[in-house]
Amino acid sequence: MFTHALVRKPCKNIVEGITSAKLGEPDYQKALVQHASYVQTLMECGLEVMQLEASEEYPDSVFIEDIALLTPEFAVITRPGAPSRRGETEGIKEVLWEFYDEIVEIQPPGTLDAGDVMMAGNRFFIGLSGRTNEEGARQLEAILHKFGFATILVELENLLHLKTGVSYLEHDTMLVGPELKDADFLEDYRTIEVALEESYAANCIWVNTTIIIPKGYPTTLKKIEDAGYDRIVTTDTSEFRKLDGGLSCLSLRF
């Protein structure tokens, strides 16, 4: 169960964020409204939310998930794969010392975005992507093995991050987008497949028995309901989708 979440407010320069979505420029005011609703949803799931101030220097800094991996026992400060985002990790260690006694950091030449890291029970899946290289993944594996966790590397194609295409819904169940539906690492899990036209909905989050999914994907919502989940809420993240961002990207939950 989670008790806390860290988020960072969208900055006015969010319109300058990295994107390949080709969905138009995000609207800053709408992004603020959607972010506030997202925070409220986390609070309704029982989380105490710490909200960091916007960082105008870093347009993508609202996607706070990428800069740290938080586990029940320790924290890892990443080294983002996009050079323009590496400064986002400055100051996060001071925030995390409030919650953790052990914090480690990914070192050059390793790169790691935590959006490429998915925890499922005592396993961590690590995506090798354009943002996470083999050295970064190797460093994270060594850290996780030290604490007794198993790791599985997943080669990615046509996905920004691992969690762009798959979400763990607890109960040995994975919500899987079309890019990963035939992946070998899924063989030990029940899968719920997301249709191509709703592929954005493959990124959702499980928070204390509630599943939060993006608004506007009714087929995926129905499939999750049919799989036996009865606590599902939706929240609008359309402005963040314009920057390749999804639900998990907007918070660190621990």
As annotated, the active-site residues are 161, 249
- Give 173's strand partners: 190
Alpha carbons 46 and 58: distance in angstroms, whole number:
29
Alpha helix segments (H runs only) across 13-59: 28-44
Alpha carbons 106 and 17: distance in angstroms, whole number:
23
Q: CB–CB of 180/165 below 8 Å?
A: yes
Alpha carbons 146 and 174: distance in angstroms, whole number:
26
Tally of CB atoms within 10 A around 19? 19
Tally of CB atoms within 10 A around 18? 15
Instruction: Report how far apart the first and last C-alpha atoms of the chain are (Å, whole number).
Output: 8
Task: Work out whether strand 75-77 and strand 68-70 pair parallel, antiparallel, or are unpaired.
Answer: antiparallel
The two tokens of residue 244 are 């390749």
> Nearest 5°: phi and psi at 165?
-115, 0
> Residue holding tokens 């950091």?
105
Using DSSP, state whether 175 is helix, strand or coil: strand
